[in-house]
Amino acid sequence: MESITDIKGTFTLNNGVKMPYFGLGVYLSEDGKEVINAVKWALEEGYRHIDTASVYNNEEGVGTGIKESNVPREDIFVVSKVWNSDQGYDNTLKAFDKSLNRLGLEYLDLYLAHWPVAGKYKDTWKAMEYLYEQKRIRAIGVSNFMQHHLEDLLGTAKIVPMVNQMEFHPYLVQQSLLDFCLDKNIQYEAWSPMMQGKIFGIEAFKELANKYNKTIAQIVLRWDLQKGVITIPKSSKRKRILANADIFDFELTPDDMANLDSLDRGQRFGPDPDNFDFEFLNI
């Protein structure tokens, strides 16, 4: 695994693109002042990776925050996602243009298929391959794809996805999926690392927070990175944005890593990719 150095450090994707392994998620950040400030504060602190999606309805604010920051566009890794109702070949091309226009950008660093919509995700992927070949996206990937979705996609794909963004935390490790992605050189990425706040009630995390003189959030984010998983904690509060990034001056021991791995119980706090209504989901 590549070494973890600082907030601007990167993991190298299978096409050679360097993706910052730590970023800001903006799910539920309200468009306008709230998300603009969050993006500006994060970039000011040294974050270089911003993750949004068309369904978050805040791409315009993200774009404004990027423009109003003093960080050059080429130094920022910007991610968005095609929503379920926009999937399919032609619809994906249109959705991409709309996202780019809302963001006010000329290209995206990473574009993800948000969920594996049955009967559509292969055509969605073909459109994403086309956009990638046109150099309008630096990397393409998927989100919420289980192993069988990936195997199905790889049966016809010309390009192996560079990233798979999944619900990932100590109660949902999915080590076999993690290993499958590693074997296929697909970078794993975490969403909901804090288990929708449930992480703060787990005794093992309280003990480690005391041991390392860190917060529970900092412990779990460090665990993500040491597992080789990119992480994008979301917050619109300046203090928390700063605190979340303070994870590069300590390292969890192998024993502590193993203890956290052992908490795995296959428990989801978000939707199950194999069993939910794609159209009405908003995540």
Catalytic, out of 21, 47, 56, 188: 56
Name the nearest CA neighbour of 143 among 171, 162, 169, 119.
162
Is 56 in the active site?
A: yes
Strands (DSSP E) along 13-98, which ranges?
18-20, 24-25, 49-51, 77-82
CA distance 52 to 109: 12
Please state, in angstroms and as integers, the Cα–Cα distance from residue 175 to each residue in 151, 153, 159, following that order: 16, 20, 24
DSSP classification of residue 185: T
Rounded CA separation 197/133 (Å): 40
The pairing of beta strand 163-167 with beta strand 77-82: unpaired
Distance (Å, rounded) from C-alpha 254 to C-alpha 245?
22
Catalytic sites, residue numbers:
56
